[in-house]
């Protein structure tokens, strides 16, 4: 976690993806069609404490949210639901802090929090890829 805080002194965003070096930032996969994954992910995100869903773009598979930090900063979060094949979907997250100071690792922690919540809710569908 110290490394993340040090990186966060300089960087004010974090993202997940297939090629992420950090295992915690790799895309998460679920054995669900994109439509079903979209419904599950959206309903789960809407119930998360401290997060506010601002926009839903179903045809693109993007959910835009924000979270206010304890220090009064705002974090912009985009959750993408991507169809890998007809029965598997991936979820990726991009989180960025507004302002020009680093985030002290808070975007990293937000991504882990969202993934933890989704994995718990969708545990029966979780898979390690295609």
**d(Cα 16, Cα 24) in Å, to the nearest integer?**
8
Check pLDDT > 90 for residue 121. yes
- 61 is in which domain, residue-wise? 2-127
Q: What is the mean pLDDT of residues 63-79?
A: 90
Q: What share of the chain is helix, strand, coil (3-state, %, to 5)?
A: 35, 35, 30
Kindly report, residue by residue over 1-51, the tens digit of the pLDDT: 555 444 545 567 889 998 888 899 999 999 999 999 999 999 999 999 999
What is the Cα 11 distance to its own chain's centre? 17
**d(Cα 57, Cα 64) in Å, to the nearest integer?**
8
pTM over 0.95: no
Check pLDDT > 60 for residue 67. yes
Number of domains in the chain: 1
Say what angle helices 34-47 and 106-121 make with each other, to 10 degrees.
Answer: 120
**For the chain, what percent of residues have pLDDT higher than 90?**
68
Find the CATH number of the domain harbouring 67: 3.30.310.220
Pairing verdict, β 88-97 and 28-30:
antiparallel
Question: What is the per-residue pLDDT for 4?
Answer: 47
Question: What is the per-residue pLDDT for 79?
Answer: 98
Structure tokens at 11: 């960087």
Distances (CA, A) of 11 to 39, 52, 126: 32, 23, 30
Place of tokens 């979270």: 67
Min mean pLDDT across 12-26, 70-84, 95-109 is at 95-109
Check pLDDT > 50 for residue 75. yes
């Amino acid at each position: 976690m110290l490394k993340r805080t040090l990186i966060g002194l300089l960087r004010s965003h974090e993202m997940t993806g297939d090629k992420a070096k950090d295992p915690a930032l790799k895309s998460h996969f679920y054995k669900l069609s994109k439509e079903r994954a979209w419904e599950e992910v959206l309903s789960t995100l809407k119930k998360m404490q401290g997060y506010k869903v601002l926009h839903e773009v179903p045809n693109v598979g993007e959910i835009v949210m924000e979270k206010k930090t304890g220090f009064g900063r705002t974090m912009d979060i985009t959750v993408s639901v991507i169809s890998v094949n007809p029965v598997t979907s991936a979820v990726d997250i991009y989180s960025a802090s507004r302002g020009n100071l680093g985030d002290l690792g808070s975007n990293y922690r937000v991504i882990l929090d969202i993934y933890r919540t989704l994995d718990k809710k969708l545990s029966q569908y979780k898979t390690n890829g295609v």
